[in-house]
Amino acid sequence: MDLELIKMVTEKANGWLAPAYDEVTRSEVKSMLESEDKTPLIDAFYKDLEFGTGGLRGIMGAGSNRMNIYTVGKATQGMADYLNECFKDKEQISVVVGHDCRNNSRLFAEVSANIFSANGIKVYLFEDLRPTPEISFAIRHLGCQSGVNITASHNPKEYNGYKAYWEDGAQVLAPHDTAIIEHVDKVAVEDIKFVGNPALIEVIGKEVDNVFLEQIHTLSIAPDVIARHKDLKIVYTPIHGCGRDLIPASLRRWGFENIHCVEEQMIKDGNFPTVVSPNPENPEAMTMAMNLAREIDAEIVLASDPDADRIAIACKNDKGDWAIINGNQTCMIFLYYIITQYNKLGKMTGKEFVVKTIVTTEVIKEIAQKNSIKMYDCYTGFKWIAKVIRDNEGIAKYIGGGEESFGFLAEDFCRDKDAVSACSLAAEIAAWAKDNGKTLYEMLMEIYVEYGFSKEITVNVVKPGKSGADEIRQMMENFRTNPLKEMAGDKVVAYKDFKALKQIDGDGNVTDIDMPEASNVLQYFTAGGNKVSVRPSGTEPKIKFYMEAKGKMECAADYEAASKAADAVIAEMKSAMGI
Q: How far is CA 530 from CA 28, 527, 550, in A?
A: 49, 7, 6
Which of these, 233, 250, 226, 454, lies nearest to 341 by C-alpha position? 226
* Angle subtended at Cα 304 by Cα 458 and Cα 382, rounded to the nearest 5 degrees: 60
Q: For residue 300, give every residue at least 6 positions away whose Cβ sits within 8 Å of its Cβ, in sequence order, or none.
A: 232, 233, 234, 235, 313, 314, 315, 426, 427, 430, 440
Is the separation of the CB atoms in 566 and 548 below 8 Å?
A: no
For residue 395, the number of C-alpha atoms closer than 13 Å in the C-beta half-sphere is 8
Which of 112, 136, 153, 250 is flagged as catalytic?
A: 153
**Pairing outcome for strands 259-261 and 234-237:** parallel
From CA 214, how far away is CA 204, in angstroms rounded? Answer: 17
Q: How many Å apart are CA 255 and CA 214, to the nearest integer?
A: 13
Q: Sign of torsion, CA 43 44 49 53?
A: positive
Instruction: Give the burial class of 11: count Cβ atoms within 10 A of its Cβ; 0-12 exposed, 13-18 middle, 19 or more buried.
Output: exposed
**CA contacts within 13 A on the Cβ side of 548:** 28
Which residues neighbour 110 within 8 Å (Cβ) at sequence distance 6 or greater? 125
153 flagged as catalytic: yes
d(CA 319, CA 312) in angstroms, rounded, equals 20
Catalytic residues: 153
